[in-house]
Structure 1
Amino acid sequence: MPNPPAGEQLAAGGFRAGFSCFVGRPNAGKSTLANAIIGEKVAITSNRPQTTRHVVRAVMHRPGAQLILVDTPGLHRPRTLLGERLNDLVRSTWSEVDVIGLCIPADERIGPGDRFITKEISELKGTVVAVVTKADLVSRERLMEQLQAVDKLYDFADIVPVSAKTGKNVDTLVDVLSSHLPESPQLYPDDMVREDPERVMISELVREAALEGVKEELPHSIAVVIEEMEDEVSEGNERRRIYAEIYVERDSQKGIVIGKGGARLKRVGTKARKEIAALIDSRVYLDLHVRVAKDWQRDPKLLSRLGF
């Protein structure tokens, strides 16, 4: 099994910079791992598959290297036009990065989805590193079994077990990914952590809050659009006024999101407002409304309206 290179090898040939993306089937821990590497929230997370819908670019600065992490939606069997567009987005991203990190959970046996994605990425030119995620959820013996199974799956450049929850081997993974980047000048300023527009991240934080505790099918039907943002001075303090629309596909779903007497929507607003305030370092006034856009996942015009 390949051994991770030592961190000091990174600078041996000069500065390295480039792009790496985590891929894998839905709920393989890709977004959680990206957040752990960067050290702050750059992608929303949920225990629901297919939470990620946008490509998120986060910049990791290291001595001798700059690693731009690209978090992508999980590749899946599409049942809607939205699913098809997300899969197209994933594949186009794969073809443009320098290093691909294939995420395979330690607590689940390798399945058809893992083999399908492995076959897909084997046809690309980029370097492929296997990342065995959620290592904290299994025993040492089970982890070794999974590492051996992954080693037989494909001729990976490296195989790294990690735990985003405990931080185990996260730094090692960054070293491994960075070692496979091309020699290059620095691509982003030292103070840049993310490349995605602020409005996109704010809408994602609202969606993350709305996903908590909802029924099985509802998460895929929720979309969020930021209609308006403006800065103002209130009681001598600056704050950001944000007007957001939460879209669902049916009237019954609207009732679920709002909750009895509006109680659930109020909880969504409270959680999202705290996350947004931390993101933009400002007080926030958040105005939420729930709208119905019938079968928006299958409607090309509505998908465009909702940013897909």
Structure 2
Amino acid sequence: MKYATYSAGGQMYYGAVTEQGMIALNEAFAQWPTLLDVVEANGLGALAQAAEGQSVTHTDFEFEMVLPNARRILCVGVNFPDRNAEYKDGSAQPKYMSLFPRFASGFTGHNRPLIRPPENETLDYEGEVAIVIGKAGRRISQTDAYDHIAALTLCNEGTIRDWVRHAKFNVTQGKNWDNSGAIGPWLVPFTDASQLDDARIITRVNGELRQDDVLSRMMHPIRREIEYISTFMTLQPGDIIVTGTPTGSGARLDPPQYLKPGDVVEVEVNGIGTLRNTVEDEVL
């Protein structure tokens, strides 16, 4: 079963996703006002039981960023061999991973537009798998790392490329424009290592294949990401780790091909689903 945050009739809900529509579940769990509260309480199993046999509540709805009140989102950069080679700086595979923070305000939901700001038109896409932590831990071993994952989702880690070059040592300002990226459409409970070890990321722009790779080729596998990050900070339930994007982003094409209004971006991962977004200019 899959779980999403969505809006209908001017109200926010969370619930189970079906082919016919959404089964609202938040009213049945007053102790968990949001889907983040569900994750923090290890409650996804309870949602599954509550949704069993229930009728669809909403057929007219809009997906929201799957955890819109997520407090901590960490992204792993340059995590595929070909992606490292794109920089053409002759550097070897890095010993340590690159990390940067993103904030929930920078993400929208499935089937919603990515927003290109008037200050700069270099809006780019990055298709990625995101993991949601379900069990707290510090100095987590790689052997135990998967035990700390509650669910999987998808991310289009939209970036204003020119703004990641504003300073020498950080990319934060280019990575946090309001509604420049998307996380969703839903959470898929994590039950088996094959969900990650065998996962393949595909990104298409207007139907054209741009990114295509498998997670098993990551320079810093997800087990290592959890181990490394939990060395310096205690991972908490509801934390999101965006695990890295393959080669093929628009900035690295010749010539570069940035997103523009009317474009459609789809990030697909087997076993999780497809995250789809259009592109619009910001209305001032």
Which TM-score band (shorter chain)? under 0.3
Q: Which has the higher contact order (CA 8 A, sep 6+)?
A: 2
TM-score, structure 2 normalization? 0.27
TM-score, structure 1 normalization? 0.25
Instruction: Pick the structure with more helix per residue.
Output: 1
Structure 1 or 2, whichever has the larger Rg, is 1
